[in-house]
Amino acid sequence: MILAGAGAAFFIVPLVGLLVRTPWMSAWHELGSPEVLAALRLSLLASFSATAIALVLGVPLAWTFARLTFPGRSVLRALTVLPMVLPPVVGGVALLLAFGRQGLLGGWLATAFGIHLPFTTAGAIIAETFVAMPFLVITVEAGLRSMDTRFEDAARTLGASRWTVLWRVTLPLVRPSLIAGAVLCWARALGEFGATITFAGNFPGRTQTMPLAVYLALETNPDAAIVLSLVLLAVSLAVLIGLRDRWLGAS
Amino acid sequence: MTLEARIRASLGAFELDVELAVAAGELVAVLGPNGAGKTSLLRALAGLVPVSAGRVTLDGVVLEDPAEGIRVPSERRPIGLVFQDYLLFPHLSVLENVAFGLRARGMARAVAVAQAGRWLDRVGLPAEGGRRPASLSGGQAQRIALARVLACNPALLLLDEPMAALDASTRVEFRRDLRRHLESFRGVRLLVTHDPVEAMAMADRLVVLENGHVLQSGTPADVTQHPRSRYVADLVGVNLFRGRVSHNVITLAGGGSLTTAGAADGDVFAVVHPRTVALYRTRPDGTPRNVWEGRAVDLDLEGDRVRVRLTGSPPIVAEVTPAAVRELGLDRGDQVWVAVKATEVNVYPA
């Protein structure tokens, strides 16, 4: 019991600390400061863009993993979920080596299209997508696997093409997984720090997302850091409450 | 309009090898125990399972012929399949479910919805269009599933255990209902079931499927009078023997012999109804031509009769009255004499 209490306290005390130290009087003022607003705006832009990319690329990937068998499937699947366990900094380094000026694709992208990803907002989005997309892929794949595929059979015998089956039957039936996956993906993207700072740097207004701003502000303006942290905490709580049926049961 | 199918398909370790012909207006029931391959047969006909060899034609149009490389995809076969648990799309309303096939075939939304509404009328559920399938009763879901399929105007209607998802208490009523709906359908009708009562009540012709193979087909009366497998014999509740007859004596494949009054030659099936099997404590004299000693291994009260399962050569089941059991003082493990008149051994070619 004591150990369990200590365990619970371990999680609760930091949160209480954050709330106690919050400068409630000046909170609104801090939130309105241009730097904070810029970071907030950039964070929302990058995290929603990353989620959109993850949906467009991740859902077909999840479908492939759930429905097709091909040689190397498990290896490919392991590689795509690797970012979930990979230290984000390593992800950032890997992205630099791929899309950096000297990188595998970066040089070609720069000369052929004039696209420079590192240290740009696009780069921040790429970094967040890299780290967050596996959450979507895993969740949607699980949803597709647990779905009764005979609904798809029924749709086909009713004359629906594969495309119609996908849009009118498969995706609506895995909607809960799609929503959960997208929310998890978005929350992870919002909190992304390591890969972003490594690959995209820390330029206010361009690549400085909220977590980077919190880290920086802790040195110069602790109150702003606390207020920003509080905003991120609120977002996390909202996600948890939104998905509570999934994780905490119906209690 | 006819369906002609020769289907060979391997599904894992299971081999399906079926030949089947169904004419328009005919309702054929494929009857077989669970795992016989009934659902696989329907899925193969609907194009959901690839056929490895054979040929499926409907009204002369080849739907599948691996040898010629023909395989019409499911969505372009004029086939309606009512699934065992109906599989109404849970995220669509009842009306949208019925309109689904029409929409998938490119019909404009308004037209499809209007037509779906008329189908709801036809199956007697005009007011349920706005509901979700989850809120329907089993019988309502069955009728919606049927409407959803019939709305697409299929040439071949397949039904997979249409009654299995219903309560036993409502089955009789819905069987009558389903039969009425099926009668108004002009195409080819094929239903699979493991319930012999359902098969007999609905079908014009039975096809008995066991272990992926057709064992027997014919009218319900023909199948029940001349069972050709243990499965059918058990369904009907008769003793089935197989053997070789010569000069009125059948030498049984499982040991023992039976004398028959009928004239036949070669390999035969012999059926003995349990009610015609008489039991005695001492060896009976007189007319019975078949007398042998057996041991009662099981006594079961069924209705007003006791079914006595006997080992011996051959083993047999007798049906006697409870009074007879009392008179004989019969109990499990007792030795008795079994007698069957030669005229009660019905013989037909194997």
Contact A160 B79 (CB under 8 A): no
In a domain, B164, yes or no: yes
Check residues B76 and A244 and name the one with the higher pLDDT. Answer: B76
Decide if B87 and A160 are in contact by the 8 Å CB cutoff. Answer: no
**Partner A contacted by B89 (CB < 8 A):** yes
- Chain A contact for B81, CB < 8 A? yes
Cα-to-chain-centroid distance, residue B174: 18
On the question of pLDDT at A247 being above 60, the answer is no
Any CB–CB contact under 8 A between A187 and chain B?
A: no
Please give, rounded to a whole number of angstroms, the shortest distance from the CA of A218 to a CA of chain B. 49
Write a three-state SS string for A127-193: HHHHHHHHHHHHHHHHHHHHCCCHHHHHHHHCCCCHHHHHHHHHHHHCHHHHHHHHHHHHHHHHCCC
pLDDT single digits (tens) B217-235: 999 988 888 998 888 898 8
Do the chains contact at A157 and B81, CB–CB below 8 Å?
Answer: yes
Q: If you measure CA to CA, which chain B residue comes closest to A176?
A: B91
Q: So what's the pLDDT on residue A124?
A: 93
CATH of the domain at B339: 2.40.50.100
Q: What is the mean pLDDT of residues B130-148?
A: 92
Closest chain B C-alpha to A154 CA, distance in angstroms: 7
- Which chain A residues are closer than 8 Å to B104 by Cβ? 155, 158-161, 164, 168
Section A153-167 average pLDDT: 94
Element (H, E) at B251: strand B249-252
- Residue A251 is predicted with a pLDDT of 37
Whether residues B81 and A151 touch (CB distance < 8 A) is answered with no
> Is residue B341, in this structure, part of any structural domain at all?
yes
Searching chain B, which residue's CA lies closest to the CA of residue A156?
B75
Please check whether residues B227 and B315 belong to one and the same domain: no
SS3 B167: coil
Give the pairing type, strands B156-160 and B79-82. Answer: parallel
pLDDT of residue B104: 92
CATH number at residue B149: 3.40.50.300
Residues B209 and B223 sit within 8 Å (Cβ to Cβ): no
On the question of pLDDT at B157 being above 70, the answer is yes
Q: Would you call A159 an interface residue with chain B, using a CB distance cutoff of 8 Å?
A: yes
Q: Taking CB atoms and an 8 Å limit, are A156 and B48 in contact across chains?
A: yes
Asked whether the beta carbons of A98 and A109 are under 8 A apart, the reply is no
**Are residues B169 and B295 located together in one domain of the fold?**
no
pLDDT value at B149 more than 90:
yes
Clarify whether residues B289 and B178 are in a common domain. Answer: no
Per residue in A43-76, pLDDT tens? 999 999 999 999 999 999 999 999 999 999 999 9
- Give how many domains chain B has, as a whole number: 2
CB pair distance less than 8 Å for A161 and B104: yes
Name the amino acid, one letter, at A73: R
B155 touches chain A (CB under 8 A): no
Shortest alpha-carbon distance between residue B176 and chain A (Å): 25
Question: Is residue B101 within 8 angstroms of chain A, CB to CB?
Answer: yes
Q: Is residue B17 a contact partner of residue B28, using CB atoms and an 8 Å limit?
A: no
Instruction: Mark yes or no for CB contact B89/A150 under 8 Å.
Output: no
Q: Give the pLDDT score at B90.
A: 95
Residue A154 sits at the chain B interface (C-beta within 8 Å): yes
> Is a pLDDT exceeding 90 seen at residue A220?
no
Last residue of a domain, one of B204, B234, B264: B234
Instruction: Decide the pairing of beta strands B188-193 and B27-31.
Output: parallel
Q: Are residues B217 and B189 in the same domain?
A: yes
Q: Are A248 and A40 in contact (CB under 8 A)?
A: no
To the nearest whole Å, the CA of A177 is away from the closest chain B CA by 14
Q: What is the pLDDT of residue A245?
A: 64
Q: Is B104 on the interface with A (CB under 8 A)?
A: yes
Rounded to the nearest angstrom, the minimum Cα separation between B159 and chain A is 12
Q: Once rounded to an integer, what is the mean pLDDT over residues B319-332?
A: 89
* Pair B208, B37: CB distance under 8 Å: no
CB distance A46 to A211 below 8 Å: no
Nearest chain A Cα distance for residue B17, angstroms: 22
pLDDT of residue B65: 94
| Whole-structure pTM value | 0.81
Residue B186 lies in a domain: yes
Pick from B45, B48, B84 the residue to mutate for testing the A interface (most A CBs within 10 Å): B48
* B83/A156 Cβ within 8 A: no
- What gap in Å lies between CA B313 and CA B185, rounded to an integer? 51
> Does residue B121 sit within a domain?
no
Which residue of A157, A167, A170 to mutate against B (max B Cβ within 10 Å)? A157
- Distance from the B112 Cα atom to the nearest Cα atom in chain A, whole angstroms: 13
- H/E element holding B279? strand B278-280
* Mean per-residue pLDDT, B243-247: 87
Residues of A in contact with B77 (CB under 8 A): 157
**Which pLDDT score, from 0 to 100, does residue A246 have?**
60
Per the listing, tokens 């007398």 go with B291
b/e map of A177-202 (b: 16 or more CB within 10 Å)?
bbebbbbbbbbbbbbbbbbbbbbbbb
pLDDT at A10 over 80: yes
**Mean pLDDT of the A139-159 span:** 95
The radius of gyration of chain A's CA atoms, rounded to the nearest angstrom, is: 21
Domain closes at, from B175, B199, B234: B234
Q: What are residue B126's phi and psi, to 5 degrees? A: -65, -25
Chain A residue at shortest CA distance from B81: A157
Å from B262 to nearest chain A CA?
51
B34 occurs within a structural domain: yes
- Out of A10-14, A33-37, A193-197, B117-121, which region has the weakest mean confidence (pLDDT)? A33-37
Q: Does B43 lie at the interface with A, CB-CB under 8 angstroms? A: yes
3-state secondary structure labels for all residues of chain A: CHHHHHHHHHHHHHHHHHHHHCCHHHHHHHHCCHHHHHHHHHHHHHHHHHHHHHHHHHHHHHHHHHHCCCCCHHHHHHHHHHHHCCCHHHHHHHHHHHHCCCCCCHHHHHHHHCCCCCCCHHHHHHHHHHHHHHHHHHHHHHHHHHCCCHHHHHHHHCCCCHHHHHHHHHHHHCHHHHHHHHHHHHHHHHCCCHHHHHHCCCCCCCCCCHHHHHHHHHHHCHHHHHHHHHHHHHHHHHHHHHCHHHHCCCC
Query: How many Cα atoms occupy the beta-carbon half-sphere of B194 within 13 Å?
Result: 11
Of B43, B73, B104, the CB nearest to A158: B104
pLDDT score for A158 = 95
Residue with the bigger pLDDT between A223 and B213: it is B213
List phi, psi (to 5°) of B217. Answer: -150, 155
Does residue A92 carry a pLDDT above 70? yes
Q: Which of B234, B266, B284 is the last residue of a domain?
A: B234
Q: Is the pLDDT at B6 greater than 90, yes or no? A: yes
Residue of B nearest to A160 (CA): B104
* Higher-pLDDT residue of B327, A25: B327
* Domain match, B225 and B77 both: yes
| Averaged confidence pLDDT in chain B | 90
Say which amino acid occupies B120: L
Please say whether the beta carbons of B168 and B138 come within 8 A. no
Strand partners, B259: B249
* pLDDT for residue A249 is more than 80: no
| Arch. (CATH architecture) of A38-244 | Orthogonal Bundle (1.10)
DSSP state of B21: E
Chain A interface mutation, best of B40, B71, B89, highest count of A Cβ atoms under 10 Å: B89
Residue pairs spanning A and B at CB distance below 8 A: 63
Inter-chain touch B74–A156, beta carbons under 8 Å: yes
pLDDT band at A136 (very low <50, low <70, confident <90, very high): very high
Task: Print the domain residue range for B273.
Answer: 237-349
pLDDT in tens, A96-135: 999 888 888 888 888 888 888 888 999 999 999 999 999 9
In the prediction, which pLDDT does B61 show? 92
Our CA-based measurement puts residue B77 at a distance from the nearest CA of chain A, in whole angstroms, of 7
Helical packing angle, B168-183 and B138-150, nearest 10°? 20
Cis peptide before B314 (omega within 30 of 0): yes
pLDDT digits (tens, 9 = 90+) for B247-288: 888 989 888 888 888 777 889 999 999 999 999 988 887 766
> Which residues, in sequence order, are bridge partners of residue B272?
B239
